[in-house]
Chains A and B, each alone.
Chain A
Amino acid sequence: MSVDFGFYAAPVRSIDLDKPLSSEIELIFEKEPSLHRCISCGQCAAICTAGHFTKMQFYKINLKAHRGESEHVKELAEKCMLCGKCQLVCPRGVNIRHGILLMSELS
């Protein structure tokens, strides 16, 4: 039986880099190494049509994957319509569509 004392233990929200990345995420980077080149400039998100209506921000999803915060990566990647405008503007030549496809195939 749980008693409501009016307070609770907040979950830790810090990123723990000591935890290794999951093998699934590592495999994505292996298949599309250009994902490492992202510098979070945000141009992909600024031009994104899906981003007007959903939480689709490619640079943020990619960053989450890099930091091991991968629980929502698949769900977020699935918002993409693969129009490819982001890839036209990316200054670092990241193969975004391939990255998104790989991320949406996560289990």
Chain B
Amino acid sequence: MSKKRVSVIGAGPAGLKAAATLAANGIQVKLFERSNLTGGHLSQWHTLFPTLEPASDLIQSLQSSLDHPNIELLSLKSIQSMHSINGKWEIISTEGERFESDAVLIATGFKLFEANRKEEYGYGMYPQVVTSADVEAIFNGQQNWPFQAEVTPLRIGLVHCVGSRDAKCGNRYCSKVCCVTAVKQAIGIKKKFPEAQVYCFYMDMRMFGVGYEELYHTAQTKYNIQFIRGRLSEASPSEGSRVQVKAEDTLMGKPIKLILNMLVLMVGMEPSFQLRKQENDFYFEQNSFGDGFMQPLDPWIGSNSYNQSGLFMAGACKGPSSLPEVIQDAKAASMEICNYLNTVL
């Protein structure tokens, strides 16, 4: 009997974990990745909340499982479309190559909100305005701080919910991980510059995960990071290559102003593509304004299944999620696929 075959689209944390789980269950996996690197966004991060462990540890652990005879990694391979014929799935790459399998797992993750769309914050205009992804790159030594390290007083602000919970951006949902990422990065900044004053501008502090609220506690008490309830109205250039920000302190009921050496925009998550069905073919297409994430059969029992036999999904392509959630979801989807292959084939 020939081995059962599954195509996994996307080699981020979800795709890597699913490929490893499926392979360990005797399934032949083709892992498609459009870039030349595996690990997805995780490969850009520096530390992980809430434990502040280096992200590289998790990437290495996920990548090491790729070294399995049942896994074939096809990097620099973008998928254009796919369809199912007589219970077999055929995937077609943008170069026109065709790959056959018994089931398909979509693990294409998310893309970051493009911060320049929030024009009032001046990303791309003022060098002092950076995104949370830039801060990770700075911590990784791939970018420089946008100020002189010896400058005093050093003031840094972080704005939550950039591109999230914002109908003006077409994204009404919460991106979940930005609050705790802001707390993590604020602590990282205070560790690097103990004299700096760090301010977080938030709408709500959504510290939903295990250990998140405790990290928030630590940020307040040990690092004296100031949390101000109220979103920035705008950032404008100020003297000495700094930016002036304005907000309403909604707890004080008063306007607040402040000149910062660096303003960090906590960018949210957006779907990385839309799956469009035409006749029997599924096409991967660019998003447009207000497009949502992939919808599973239902949010409970069928949360890894698509409304099409043999098509599955896992991870942040379904909506904003933290890394533990993504990894658990990939394992759950793998189990779903095993069950499907055992009953159908």
Contacts and interface: CB of A to CB of B under 8 A. Distances in A.
A, B: real partners: yes
A4 interface: no
Nearest to B229: A40
Contacts of B224: 29, 33, 36
B252 A64 contact: yes
B221 A15 contact: no
A37 B256 contact: no
Interface in B196-228: 199, 205, 217, 220-221, 224, 226-227
Interface residues of B, number: 20
A39 interface: yes
Give the interface SS of chain B, mostly helix, strand, loop or mixed.
Answer: strand
B257 interface: yes
B221 A36 contact: yes
A69 B252 contact: yes
Nearest to A40: B251
Nearest to B227: A39
A66 B226 contact: yes
Interface of A: 13-18, 20, 29, 33-34, 36-37, 39-40, 63-64, 66-67, 69, 92
30 contacts: A13-B254, A13-B255, A14-B256, A14-B257, A15-B249, A15-B254, A15-B255, A15-B256, A16-B257, A17-B199, A17-B257, A17-B258, A18-B155, A18-B257, A18-B258, A18-B259, A20-B153, A33-B221, A33-B224, A34-B221, A36-B221, A39-B205, A40-B229, A63-B251, A63-B252, A64-B252, A67-B249, A67-B252, A67-B256, A69-B252
Question: Which 4 A-B pairs give the minimum distances between C-beta atoms?
Answer: A14-B255, A17-B258, A15-B256, A36-B220
